[in-house]
């Protein structure tokens, strides 16, 4: 079985390289914890262009370069993936829209109709990154009231309803969260591919839900031994329930012609950090929150923030990415060959799919697609020696 490699859509805008934190693609910038509108490239001005035009460029770059599609994230301050997908369905060809969303935000019948319609509009290119994590007041910001533990039960029930409607015919349901009477998808929406489901969440409740509905269990990059443990647990648990869930890793990379050049990129970014950036990182590293995944990432933070090399966890694995841009801490840094080798290492640990990202997403989609993807062996390299696991 061959692996799938996706790209990621930078809905938060982005700088022109990791060396610089000033966002000017898309239409926003981040300064001192608050977000201000920064009219840079594609600034939504009177010329009729807006940030979606840059996003469309990235999506086109990803499909031209050989990626399956891209993860379209959902954050409080960024544009929504359902909107992006419906807008870009027609001007892309093979790009698959991985829509990140929380089931609790939509009526499941509405969601089923949206999904089937998007499949028709895009020739079956929609898939989901189902998110349930987080919790507390943040959830009420979105207008959602269910408590944390209940929310995985709701995710499960939501996806049950979606799958039942998908089969066609009339469907009634009396559940804890949803009630339907003679619901049905219209004839013209039937027969589409059900979206593949990438599932996130590290808690036990998440794993129970994943074992019923996930096609891919999606994790951030973690230290390789921890990741192997996690994947083994997921595969064991889901195998027992009769549903074989595959695993996927969402990871940022810096790939250059030589390892030295790759590290130089990281070092420059690190040296350009302000004290305020480092303070913010230190505060993040001390927090604890409801998300098990975010807590696991914090546990690897070094004590002092003076040398970028203190963030190296394994050969080619650097844990300081969240200093350079928002998001997860760990990423892969190296030559094209090394990055491909580390991805193959992850395949041996159980990964069947990747969501890669690199800044800036437009140029790097071409670079990674042209230089790194052709070197990745996937499962065809299963018998070679495992190099980076320590």
Nearer to other proteins, 158 or 216 (CB): 158
Q: How far is CA 66 from CA 94, 95, 327, 386, in A?
A: 9, 9, 24, 26
As a whole number of angstroms, the distance between CA 207 and CA 211 comes to 6
Q: Which of 137, 271, 288, 383 binds other proteins (CB under 8 A)?
A: 137
227: tokens are 């990741």
* Choices 74-82, 252-260, 303-311, 377-385 (CB under 8 A): range interacting with other proteins: 74-82
Q: In angstroms, what is the minimal distance from the CB of 79 to other proteins?
A: 4
CB of 279 to other proteins, least distance (A): 21
The answer to whether 270 and 308 are in contact (CB under 8 A) is: yes
According to DSSP, the residues that pair with 171 across neighbouring strands are: 183
Which has the closest alpha carbon to 199: 188, 213, 185? 213
- Comparing CA positions, the residue from 281, 283, 274 lying closest to residue 322 is 281
Specify the DSSP element, H or E, that contains 285. Answer: helix 275-286
Q: How far is the CB of 155 from other proteins (least distance, A)?
A: 14
Binding flag, residue 89, other proteins (CB under 8 A)? yes
Residue 191 CA to its chain's centroid (Å): 28
CB of 312 to other proteins, least distance (A): 33
Least distance in angstroms from the C-beta of 89 to other proteins: 6
Q: Residue 47 or residue 275: which is nearer to other proteins going by CB? A: 47
Q: How far apart are CA 62 and CA 110, in angstroms?
A: 30
What residues between 148 and 187 interact with other proteins by CB under 8 A? 161, 178-184, 186-187
Judged by CB under 8 A, which stretch of 28-36, 226-234, 298-306, 369-377 contacts other proteins?
28-36
Tell me how far apart the alpha carbons of residues 346 and 376 are, in angstroms, rounded to a whole number: 11
Q: Is 19 exposed, middle or buried (0-12, 13-18, 19+ CB in 10 A)?
A: middle
Shortest gap between Cβ of 308 and other proteins (angstroms)?
Answer: 29
Q: Which is nearer to other proteins, 5 or 112 (CB)?
A: 112
> Rule CB under 8 A: is residue 78 a binding residue for other proteins?
yes
- Determine, following the binding rule CB under 8 A, whether residue 13 of this chain makes contact with other proteins: yes
22 lies in the binding site for other proteins (CB under 8 A):
no
Exactly one of 22, 32, 94, 145 binds other proteins (CB under 8 A); that residue is: 145
Q: Which is nearer to other proteins, 84 or 301 (CB)?
A: 84
User: Is 33 a binder of other proteins (CB under 8 A)?
Assistant: no
**Nearer of residues 105 and 366 to other proteins, judged by Cβ:** 105
**Residue 182 vs 288, nearer CB to other proteins:** 182
Q: Assess contact for 376 and 28: CB atoms under 8 A.
A: no
**By C-beta, is 110 or 304 nearer to other proteins?**
110
DSSP secondary structure, 213-272, as one string: H-SEEEEE---HHHHHHHHHHHHHHHHHTT---EEEEEEEEEEESSHHHHHHHHHHHHHT
> What residues numbered 96-135 form the site for other proteins, per CB under 8 A?
104-111, 113-114, 116-118, 120-121, 123
Residue 357 corresponds to which tokens in the numbers above? 């990202």
Q: Burial of 244 by CB count in 10 Å (0-12 exposed, 13-18 middle, 19+ buried)?
A: exposed
Specify burial of residue 91 (Cβ count, 10 A radius: 0-12, 13-18, 19+): exposed
Q: Does 284 bind other proteins (CB under 8 A)?
A: no
Toward other proteins, which CB reaches closer, 19 or 173?
Answer: 173
Closest separation between CB of residue 367 and other proteins, Å? 27
Would you count residue 34 as binding other proteins (CB under 8 A)? yes
Q: Answer whether 3's CB lies under 8 Å from 354's CB.
A: yes
Interface positions with other proteins (CB under 8 A)? 13, 26-28, 34-37, 44, 48, 50-52, 76-80, 82-91, 104-111, 113-114, 116-118, 120-121, 123, 137, 140-145, 161, 178-184, 186-189
């Amino acid at each position: 079985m061959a692996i799938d490699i996706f790209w990621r859509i930078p809905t938060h805008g982005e700088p022109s390289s990791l060396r610089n934190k000033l966002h000017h693609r898309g239409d926003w910038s981040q300064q001192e914890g608050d977000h201000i509108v920064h009219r840079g490239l594609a600034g939504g001005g009177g010329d009729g262009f807006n940030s979606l035009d840059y996003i469309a460029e990235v999506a086109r770059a990803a499909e031209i370069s050989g990626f399956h599609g891209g993860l379209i994230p959902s954050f409080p301050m960024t544009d929504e993936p359902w909107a992006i997908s419906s807008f870009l369905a027609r001007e892309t060809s093979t790009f698959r829209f991985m829509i990140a969303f929380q089931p609790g935000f939509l009526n499941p019948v509405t969601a089923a109709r949206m999904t089937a319609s998007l499949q028709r509009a895009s020739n079956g290119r929609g898939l989901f990154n189902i998110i349930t994590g987080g919790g507390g007041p943040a959830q009420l910001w979105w207008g959602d009231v269910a408590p944390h533990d209940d929310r995985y039960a709701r995710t499960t029930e939501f996806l049950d309803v979606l799958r039942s409607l998908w089969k066609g015919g009339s469907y009634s349901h009396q559940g804890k969260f949803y009630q339907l009477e003679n619901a049905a998808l219209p004839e013209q929406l039937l027969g589409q591919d059900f979206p593949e489901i990438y599932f996130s969440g590290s808690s036990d409740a998440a794993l129970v839900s994943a074992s019923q509905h996930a096609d891919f269990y999606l994790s951030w990059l973690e230290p390789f031994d921890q990741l192997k443990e996690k994947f083994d647990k997921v595969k064991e648990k889901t195998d027992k329930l009769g549903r074989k869930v595959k695993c996927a890793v969402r990871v940022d990379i810096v790939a250059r012609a030589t390892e030295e050049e790759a590290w130089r990129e990281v070092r420059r970014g690190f040296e350009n950090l302000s004290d305020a950036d480092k303070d913010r990182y230190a505060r993040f590293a001390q927090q604890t929150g409801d998300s098990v995944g975010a807590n696991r990432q914090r546990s690897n933070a070094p004590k002092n923030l003076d040398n970028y090399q203190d963030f190296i966890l394994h050969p080619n694995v650097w844990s300081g990415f969240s200093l350079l841009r928002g998001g997860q801490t760990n990423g892969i840094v190296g030559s094209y060959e090394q990055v491909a080798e580390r991805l193959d290492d992850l395949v041996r640990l159980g990964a069947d799919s990747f969501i890669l990202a690199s800044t800036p997403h437009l140029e790097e989609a071409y670079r990674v697609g042209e230089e790194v993807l052709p070197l990745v062996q996937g499962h065809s390299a299963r018998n070679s020696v495992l190099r980076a696991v320590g």
